[in-house]
């Protein structure tokens, strides 16, 4: 018999990690959500965050060395922007003219024209960015470089889990000594008009996902992390608690201008350094403050913002979604989502919150918000596919988009003992379209 490669979808195998239970909803809506269609768009490699342009009806997908631009009317890839070392996140400006792509290994943020879908410039920064967010009131783009550094003890920051199926690099900003940066994250403020870095901000903890509220602020989830400080021949060990960092865009611009004027360098192109890493969990400043998270949310993941009602929706690493007051950090409600909860989306038109859960068989938790009573309830848990943990919400029509692929195994190469090795099935990368 000739040798043949047998591929079997992992979903049909009794793998314990893929059969985690999905919580039951409190009630089902009259018109429940369903997977309306799926578009197989191909491509290879790891993927990460998505972004949607409702007006142009385009979905942007960061997919390894490419950004796939999908036409939402036809479900086809209208263009592949390539040449990235590893694309991770997309942010769009408020003018409709430009977009931004974080290229983590290249330590750069690329600028592309949204009409031609061509990259125009690469803005070099001092650390590897992953999540990015555009703040319209100041014109700043904030790029987040997490504390993905191995500590002197060799341990990774606790509670870390990858987004999508992407991996993270492990080196200090600017190639510096990792021992001096373990447990410290950096947030880079970029002037998108001048395309220059105006400020480099250091905070303790593992900064992860950034989300702008459209009203001047950018919120960043910060996971618990250990920090080791070497001073006077002694080693001091600190543990940064989980929290949400709030950055004020216009205030950052004003502070950078003030510092430059004080140094008699108002026209300097050198970025201003703002180091809050030693005391950033206490008090607040004009341009920065923190909101505490409970210890049960040691590894916060995605974040969505309701600026109108001052609410934050944070995905935790324990199958919980926290609803917080964005002014004081008080927990308003905590709801159970599903295994592998990661990216959160918010539809302000329909007052719905979505949590993409890529663990187990995959699920999408749908939560109804009642802003009048400040009440929240899970109305549906929709089965999706394994590893569908990143999403984008089209508030123009209420549709939700997720991406994933199929995993296969070579049963002819299975060892007598040990785990089954899986690999993506070529050409299986797809977009799931969820709606009513």
Q: What is the CATH number of the domain that holds 170?
A: 2.130.10.10
User: How confident is the model over 97-136, as pLDDT tens digits?
Assistant: 999 999 999 999 999 999 999 999 999 999 999 999 999 9
Q: Is the Cα dihedral 265, 266, 271, 276 positive or negative?
A: positive
Residue 182 within any structural domain of the chain: yes
Instruction: Write the CA distances from 144 to 32, 50, 94, 275, 306, integer angstroms.
Output: 36, 16, 20, 15, 21
Residue 373 within any structural domain of the chain: no
Q: Could you list the residue range(s) of the whole structural domain that residue 234 is in? A: 84-300
Residue 153 within any structural domain of the chain: yes
Residue 66 within any structural domain of the chain: no
Reduce the DSSP state of residue 296 to 3 states and report it: helix
CA angle 75, 341, 153 (to 5 degrees): 125
**What is the tally of structural domains in the chain?**
1
Write down the pLDDT at residue 113: 98
Residue 110 within any structural domain of the chain: yes
**pLDDT band at 260; cut points 50, 70, 90:** confident
Residue 308 within any structural domain of the chain: no
Residue 281 within any structural domain of the chain: yes
C-alpha 315/C-alpha 335 separation (Å) is 10
C-alpha 410/C-alpha 421 separation (Å) is 8
User: How confident is the model over 30-89, as pLDDT tens digits?
Assistant: 779 999 999 999 999 999 999 999 999 999 999 999 999 999 999 999 999 999 999 999
**pLDDT band at 183; cut points 50, 70, 90:** confident
Q: What is the dihedral of CA 331, 332, 336, 341, to 10 degrees?
A: -60
Instruction: Write the CA distances from 270 to 51, 196, 205, 294, integer angstroms.
Output: 31, 9, 25, 38
Write down the pLDDT at residue 220: 98
Q: In 151-302, where do the E strands start and end?
A: 184-191, 196-204, 206-212, 217-223, 225-231, 234-240, 243-248, 272-275, 288-292
pLDDT for 206 beyond 80: yes
């Amino acid at each position: 018999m000739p040798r043949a490669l047998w591929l079997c979808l992992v979903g049909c195998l009794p793998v314990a990690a893929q059969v985690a239970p999905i919580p039951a909803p409190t009630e089902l809506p009259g018109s429940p959500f369903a997977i309306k269609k799926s578009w197989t768009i191909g491509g290879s490699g790891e993927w990460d965050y998505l972004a949607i342009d409702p007006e142009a009806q385009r979905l942007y997908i960061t997919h390894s060395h490419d950004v796939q631009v999908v036409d939402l009317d036809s479900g086809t890839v209208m263009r592949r922007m390539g040449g990235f070392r590893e694309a991770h996140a997309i942010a769009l400006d408020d003018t409709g003219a430009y977009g931004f792509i974080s290229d983590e290994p290249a330590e750069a943020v690329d600028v592309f024209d949204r009409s031609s879908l061509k990259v125009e410039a690469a803005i070099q920064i001092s650390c590897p960015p992953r999540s990015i967010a555009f703040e319209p009131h100041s014109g700043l783009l904030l790029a987040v470089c997490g504390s993905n550094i191995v500590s002197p003890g060799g341990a990774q920051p606790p509670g870390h889990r990858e987004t999508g199926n992407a991996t993270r690099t492990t080196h200090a900003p600017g190639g510096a000594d990792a021992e001096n940066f373990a447990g410290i994250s950096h947030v880079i403020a970029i002037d998108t008009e001048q395309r220059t870095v105006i400020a480099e901000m250091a905070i303790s903890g593992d900064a992860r996902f950034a989300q702008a509220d459209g009203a001047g602020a950018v919120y960043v989830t910060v996971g618990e992390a250990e920090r080791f400080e070497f001073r006077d021949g002694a080693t001091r060990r600190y543990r940064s608690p989980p929290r949400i960092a709030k950055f004020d865009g216009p205030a950052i611009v004003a502070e950078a201008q003030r510092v430059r004027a004080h140094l008699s360098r108002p026209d300097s192109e050198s970025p201003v350094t703002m180091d809050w890493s030693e005391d950033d969990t206490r008090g607040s400043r004009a341009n920065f403050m923190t909101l505490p998270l409970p210890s049960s949310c040691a590894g916060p993941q995605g974040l969505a913002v309701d600026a109108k009602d001052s609410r934050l929706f944070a995905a935790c690493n324990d199958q919980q979604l926290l609803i917080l007051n964005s002014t004081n950090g008080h927990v308003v409600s905590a709801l159970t989502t599903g295994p592998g909860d990661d990216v959160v989306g918010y539809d302000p038109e329909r007052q719905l919150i979505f949590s993409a859960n890529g663990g187990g068989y995959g699920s999408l938790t749908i939560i109804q918000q009642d802003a009048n009573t400040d009440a929240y309830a899970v109305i549906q848990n929709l089965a999706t596919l394994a590893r569908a943990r990143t999403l984008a919400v089209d508030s123009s029509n209420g549709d939700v988009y997720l991406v994933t692929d199929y995993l296969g195994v070579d049963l002819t190469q299975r060892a007598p003992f040990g785990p089954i090795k899986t690999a993506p099935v070529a050409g299986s990368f797809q977009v799931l379209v969820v709606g009513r």
